[in-house]
């Protein structure tokens, strides 16, 4: 394992931080206020803010949050496939986009002002750069 990946898993949260993580990643508590989260985790607000000031804690929180999302992904995908098979264009479009089979066409247009500067040639104002040098 390379050093960077090992550093992601080296952080050891305190007991209060472990309680906080359990509450934070629980979908039932996702709309709770910080005060309510702290009460459920049996910690103070300063503990909450101190935990989130630590990069190791933040990485652990993000990792656990991704795990929760991955666990919920299967049923969501099954629902999208089922609805697509029933004829839902929106669900079908998302499934095809995820499979890399479909992309929206995007037209981008812009009006851009351009100034052309002719700094090549002689000092003639008539635009005729051909001069005969009979030397």
pLDDT range class, residue 104, cuts 50, 70, 90: confident
- 103 lies in some domain: no
Q: How many structural domains does the chain have?
A: 1
- 48 lies in some domain: yes
Residue with tokens 């935990």: 51
- 28 lies in some domain: yes
**Rounded to an integer, what distance in angstroms lies between the CA atom of residue 86 and that of residue 102?**
19
**Rounded to an integer, what distance in angstroms lies between the CA atom of residue 127 and that of residue 135?**
22
The pLDDT tens digits of the residues spanning 1-50 come to: 444 444 556 899 999 999 999 999 999 999 999 999 999 999 999 999 99
Please check the confidence at residue 123 and state whether its pLDDT lies above 70: no
- 116 lies in some domain: no
- 107 lies in some domain: no
**Mean of the per-residue pLDDT values for the chain?**
85
Of residues 4 and 73, the one with the higher pLDDT is 73
């Amino acid at each position: 394992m390379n050093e960077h990946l090992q550093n992601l898993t080296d952080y050891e949260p305190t007991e209060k931080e472990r309680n906080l993580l359990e509450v934070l990643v629980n979908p039932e508590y996702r709309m709770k206020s910080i005060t309510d989260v702290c009460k459920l985790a049996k910690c103070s607000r300063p503990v909450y803010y101190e935990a989130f000031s630590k990069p190791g804690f933040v990485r652990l929180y993000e990792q656990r949050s991704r795990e929760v999302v991955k666990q919920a992904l299967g049923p969501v995908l099954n629902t999208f496939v089922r609805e697509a098979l029933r004829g839902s264009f929106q669900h079908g479009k998302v499934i095809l986009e995820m499979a890399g089979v479909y992309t929206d066409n995007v037209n981008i247009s812009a009006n851009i002002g351009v100034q052309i500067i002719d700094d090549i040639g002689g000092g003639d104002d008539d635009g005729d750069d051909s001069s005969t040098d009979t030397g």
